[in-house]
Amino acid sequence: MNTAPIAVKTPLHRQHHNDVVIDNYEWLRDKDNPAVISHLEAENAYTDRRTGHLELLQEQIFEEIKGRTQETDLSVPVRQGLWWHYTRTVEGQEYGIHCRAPISDPADWTPPALPTANTATDAPGLPGEQVLLDDNAEAAGHEFFSLGSFDVSDDGTLLLYAVDVEGDERYTIRVRTIETGENLADEIPNTSEGALFDPSGRYLFYTTVDEAWRPDTVWRHEIGSAASADVTVFSEPDERFWVGVGLTRSRKYLVIEAGSSVTSETRLLDASDPTGEFSIVWPRVDGVEYDVEHAVLDGDDRLLIVHNDHAINFELVSVAAGDPLGERRVLLAHNPEIRLEGVDAFRDFVVVEYRREGLTRIAIDRRGDGAGLTELQFDEPLFAVGTHGNPEWEQPTIRLGYTSFVTPSTVYDYVVATGEMRQLKQQAVLGGYDPLVFEQRREWAIGRDGTRIPISLVFRRDLVTPGVPAPTLLYGYGSYEQSIDPGFGIPRLSLLDRGMIFAIAHVRGGGELGRLWYENGKTTHKRNTFTDFIDCAQHLIDAGYTTPEHLVAEGGSAGGLLVGAVANLAPELFAGILAVVPFVDPLTSILDPSLPLTVIEWDEWGDPLHDPEVYAYMKSYSPVENVHATHYPRILAVTSLNDTRVLYVEPAKWVAKLREVGADALLKTEMSAGHGGVSGRYSAWRERAFNYAWVIDAAGAHPSGEPEPVIAD
């Protein structure tokens, strides 16, 4: 039976701004309704039947991912206090094992040499290893497992951890005595991620969410007390704002951050007085965002603040910690060509992260005055670099993570005093990986309004000849100022080895080219995101990289909205659309302030509930609202039942409407997963193998890895 499931139509009338919408599939929102579960299971069974011919290819790709991955492995240790902290993985186990080992010399900041696993079961750690938490043991008996908080007290005696076993991003905090491995009575359910100890280890701070899944309240818990006695430290009433809690690297201040998409506010508390009152650094001003770092410059306590007050690409200033509203010393002035993204302060130097020409950059300021910046240099045309694992205030090195389309993830320590760059580890790629076989390059599409849009591509030189069309996967996101940077991925090799091109369209709405790149792809400029992607696809076709019969689009979450809108606007350009946890019914969701995160989203998309122009604009591009009779490309929508960010009902409704007009649309719902998909690395690899097998089939690539040339029409 290859007949597609047909969802029952139960008309629901919705009226806003004198516009009446009939929604036949809103009933699918009730996941407690057995009929809903039955429908999703029928969709899964139909998808299984329709993709049955790809089972061998799926298994081949899974084995390729598995065969290229060093399954028994150990991360580069990070020094915290008198311990090296690291995570191990063991072949055959889904999750990591969090460990620590004592440092041999307090003056030694060089990580110990990593041991090598000789057999599948040989999983060596460092000498003196202590296992802090084995995620495999914690996940036993659960179909889903996610670790949302992990912190060790400053004295090294207590472990705080929080787990989610449903996929709904609500975590239960527990506290463990490290020496005995036994948990204390302290247990706090229904928290958000990111809990931590205060420096004394006597208290822990955590956040909880409201009914709309918005982290809105910070709590203080005293170790050994009942959760019912916990104290509300701060609660944010404005539904546009989320809150988080943390510590400065210096351990001098506890930090509460409240932020919307366009506005932020930070509160500080001297960590030596954890039961005291937090004070505001800068009062919130609509449209002003800022981040705060504590530094000691010339013996004075200073706050380094990256902000966008009359500086759209942000600038860096220094203010007195005791008088943050006083004189601002400008350390790095606003630059329209550089998007300043963050600053990390250490005892003896400052690290600045920014974007220039669409790529991430890092510079070291040894004096802390912004005048002596040294930018670190890398010799690839495309790359991504960022600070990675630097918890210690007094450390003399900077830990960096570096990658590109062709360079596996690499960990460096940069010695600030000497400028030495020490490579500590590069991600192993088993089976004889040769980066020289691959080429990465940058193309520029010209948008319909004249805007130049960057495209990043990677392919195998021996299998793809520029100008000769090849099967291509074009990925896009374009929301929340999130940049999709070039990075290495073992699963992607299974596409490239079959003669496919992988490309990223860096469309407006992302942050690759600065804040204006984001501003011009949000709210009532959102259509630029979609037309940019279409223009990138057309560029790849016109430049001879591919043809419409061999081009597949992929996007996830807000990127799912992107490819869903593109399917309506330019279906003729694509052979397939892969939409992962796709936000394809945005108007319905953003109209309902009771849904998770809706009010927070108004800064990103606009407020259609109260603004008729925003309502009309969103309705004009919403994928569900604009399904029409046309020849759609093949569509695969992948979602998760317990996703609290983009509810499964959105792709379920979208597929049902696509079926009404005869589209070849499949829906696959993970019944025990959240927004990030299934948990566990082997499960994730199988999920990726399923998606990529479908992509290879839709793009017309050769499934065996022996590609045949694509003949342009």
Is 483 considered catalytic here?
A: no
Question: What pairing do the DSSP bridges indicate for beta strands 634-640 and 665-670?
Answer: parallel
Dist CA 271 CA 254 (whole Å)? 5
- Supply the Cα-derived Rg of the chain in whole angstroms: 26
Dist CA 476 CA 482 (whole Å)? 11
Q: Indicate the DSSP class of residue 306.
A: E
The total number of residues shown for the chain amounts to 713
Question: What pairing do the DSSP bridges indicate for beta strands 97-102 and 279-280?
Answer: unpaired
Question: What pairing do the DSSP bridges indicate for beta strands 373-375 and 634-640?
Answer: unpaired
Please, is 702 exposed, middle or buried when counting C-beta atoms within 10 Å of its C-beta (0-12, 13-18, 19+)? middle
Q: Of 318, 325, 324, whose CA–CA distance to 368 is shortest? A: 318
Dist CA 16 CA 590 (whole Å)? 12
| Backbone CA torsion sign across 526, 532, 537, 542 | positive
Please, is 582 exposed, middle or buried when counting C-beta atoms within 10 Å of its C-beta (0-12, 13-18, 19+)? buried
Is 675 considered catalytic here?
A: yes
Is 542 considered catalytic here?
A: no
| CB 651 within 8 Å of CB 637 | yes
The H-or-E segment that residue 89 falls in is strand 83-89
Q: Which amino acid is at 641?
A: L
Dist CA 442 CA 405 (whole Å)? 11
Q: Which amino acid is at 132?
A: L
SS3 label, residue 528: helix
The H-or-E segment that residue 409 falls in is none
The single residue listed with the structure tokens 């007390």 is 225
Catalytic entry in 149, 557, 640, 679: 557
Q: Which amino acid is at 587?
A: L
> 177: which strand partners?
158, 182
* Cβ-proximal residues to 47 (8 Å cutoff; 6+ apart), any chain: 636, 666, 667, 668
How far from 700 is each of 56, 381, 668, 710, CA to CA, in Å? 16, 30, 21, 9
Question: What pairing do the DSSP bridges indicate for beta strands 551-556 and 472-476?
Answer: parallel
Dist CA 522 CA 510 (whole Å)? 9
Question: What pairing do the DSSP bridges indicate for beta strands 410-415 and 438-446?
Answer: unpaired
Q: Of 644, 609, 601, 518, whose CA–CA distance to 260 is shortest? A: 601
The H-or-E segment that residue 85 falls in is strand 83-89
**E strand intervals along 371-529:** 373-375, 384-387, 397-403, 410-415, 420-426, 438-446, 452-460, 472-476, 501-505
CB atoms within 10 A of CB 595: 18
Catalytic entry in 135, 151, 643, 697: 643
| CB 208 within 8 Å of CB 195 | no
| CB 503 within 8 Å of CB 474 | yes
Catalytic entry in 23, 675, 679, 697: 675
| CB 653 within 8 Å of CB 28 | yes
SS3 label, residue 10: coil
SS3 label, residue 93: coil
CA angle, 86 then 87 then 90, to 5°: 145
**Six-digit token pair at 281?**
């650094």
Dist CA 78 CA 58 (whole Å)? 37
Q: With left for phi above 0 and alpha for psi between -120 and 50, is residue 81 left, alpha or beta?
A: left
Q: Which residues are catalytic?
A: 557, 643, 675
